[in-house]
Copies of this chain bind each other. A is one copy, B any other.
């Protein structure tokens, strides 16, 4: 299979859905909806929605129709986008640029940026309960999915990781703290992405367990690869200043174990993720290719 074609196609489907599902940018209050669309439409690879879709396909078959899948997958992008808006705020990372464009608060002001983040987080749960978008889903499965999203993004997941990340800045942290940040700030939502896709496709317990293993491994591999890119990537490739994490005093994986050992570890995690999929046939090929791509990517 051609992963590039696959990623592009799925991203297109997600982008199309988000465009239909989000309020127009001039809907009242226009600053809020303009701000929301500004960040959602700023680009991004839609990693989380694509992982959810690929997980559903592993269970239900390639391109199988899974009721509600697009809403479930897209809700993760809303959560991810809100987290970027809040992360960029002056009180947090204080970033002026994101994906080569001025950050949300630089364009809409801090107050609206905070509220746009709040609204996006809330809209994820609006989407997940929208009668039209989740038509055909079993309510019980939907409740389980909503729970995965809440836990992956909340105090014991993404927000917990962000708190520890912010508080570790410029401090000496140990390796356990770094791993906590990685597995929570990004890992928890990636794990949730895989699981909600599997749940939407009515996965068996065995399938869900295998896919969860995949999600955990890929989530950590993704973050280690990010750390490596921060050191080795070019500004053009990664869309932010090279070495910005290091400059900010953020501890990275390579800072602890060196760049070669980091690459090895990312590769091992990628291999382990692929191995977790052995109970699946070719329908899991996109997940397999994604696991390899994540550690080989240049941006």
A residues touching B (Cβ–Cβ < 8 Å)? 23, 28-29, 31-33, 36, 82, 86, 89, 91-92, 109-112, 114-115, 117-119, 121-123, 125-126, 128-130, 138-140, 142-144, 146-147, 149-151, 153-156, 159-160, 162-164, 166-167
Contact = CB atoms under 8 A, between A and B. Distances in A.
A241 B73 CA distance: 46
Number of this chain's copies in the complex: 2
A119 B118 CA distance: 10
B118 A121 contact: yes
Contact of A146 (B86, B118, B121, B125): B125
Which secondary structure dominates chain A's binding surface?
A: helix
Contacts of A150: 122-123, 125-126, 129
A4 B146 CA distance: 37
Given A89-B114, A118-B117, A155-B119, A147 B126 contact: yes
Given A86-B114, A118-B118, A118-B159, 7 more contacts: A86-B118, A119-B155, A119-B160, A126-B147, A128-B146, A129-B143, A139-B140
A122 B167 contact: no
A121 B158 CA distance: 13
Contacts of A29: 160, 163-164, 167
A163 B28 CA distance: 10
A122 B32 contact: no
A163 B125 contact: no
Contact of A32 (B109, B117, B163): B163
Given A91-B110, A121-B121, A153-B122, A115 B23 contact: no
